[in-house]
């Protein structure tokens, strides 16, 4: 679907000829969490995925894409990504590393192409929502297409 406001994430999907839909919503600066976003776009929180910027002791920065109502298991991510340890990147480092602000971090179109690990529960949905790379916009696409566009892989978050 064509859209007048293109984000880097949308451009990448266009270039890869991957179909997606953009959903816009009202931004609430007090509530940038995925659960609030899910309510705004009328989807269950389990279907709206948040992108977390994580640092592995061996790989460096990676993205973990997990359900909006989920908690990241750092040990499980470390195992899946070939690290001994992983830790969340400090909020003040997210913008310089990714080009994205809190509430608008997308696994697509960051400053660098970081490895993407998508929680395997995404597979149960025909389409999931991820950030389009700016607050107030979500991209709806199939988990398979997200994995294709990011060269990502599924991981077990337990």
128-152 tens-digit pLDDT: 999 999 999 999 999 999 999 999 9
Residue 136 belongs to a domain: yes
In a domain, 14, yes or no: no
In 8-158, which ranges are continuous DSSP H helix? Answer: 8-15, 34-41, 74-81, 91-98, 143-150
Which residues in the chain show pLDDT less than 70?
1-4
Q: Quick one: pLDDT at residue 2?
A: 44
Domain count, the chain: 1
Quick: pLDDT tens for 102-121.
999 999 999 999 999 999 99
- Residue 106 falls inside a structural domain: yes
Distance, CA of 4 to CA of 88 (rounded, Å)? 34
**Domain assignment of residue 28, yes or no:** yes
Give domain status of residue 141, yes or no: yes
Domain contains 12:
no
Q: Residue 60: inside a domain, yes or no?
A: yes
Q: Which domain holds residue 138?
A: 20-155
Query: Would you say residue 78 lies in a domain?
Result: yes
Whole-prediction pTM: 0.95
CATH of the domain at 38: 3.90.960.10
- Residues of the chain with pLDDT > 90, as a percent, come to 92
pLDDT of residue 4: 55
């Amino acid at each position: 679907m064509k859209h007048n406001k293109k984000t880097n994430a949308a451009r990448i999907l266009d270039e890869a000829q991957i179909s997606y839909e953009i959903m816009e919503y009202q931004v609430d600066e007090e509530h940038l969490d995925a659960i609030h976003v899910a309510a705004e776009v009328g989807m269950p929180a389990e279907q709206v995925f948040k992108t977390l910027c994580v640092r592995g002791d061996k790989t460096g920065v990676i993205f973990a894409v997990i359900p909006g109502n989920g908690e990241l298991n750092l040990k499980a991510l470390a195992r899946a990504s070939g690290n001994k340890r992983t830790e969340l990147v400090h909020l003040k480092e997210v913008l310089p590393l990714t080009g994205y602000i809190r509430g608008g971090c997308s696994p697509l179109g960051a400053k660098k192409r970081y490895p993407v690990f998508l929680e395997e529960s995404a597979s149960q949905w025909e389409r999931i929502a991820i950030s389009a790379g700016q607050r107030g916009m979500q991209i709806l696409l199939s988990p398979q297409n997200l994995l294709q566009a990011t060269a990502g892989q599924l991981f077990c978050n337990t």
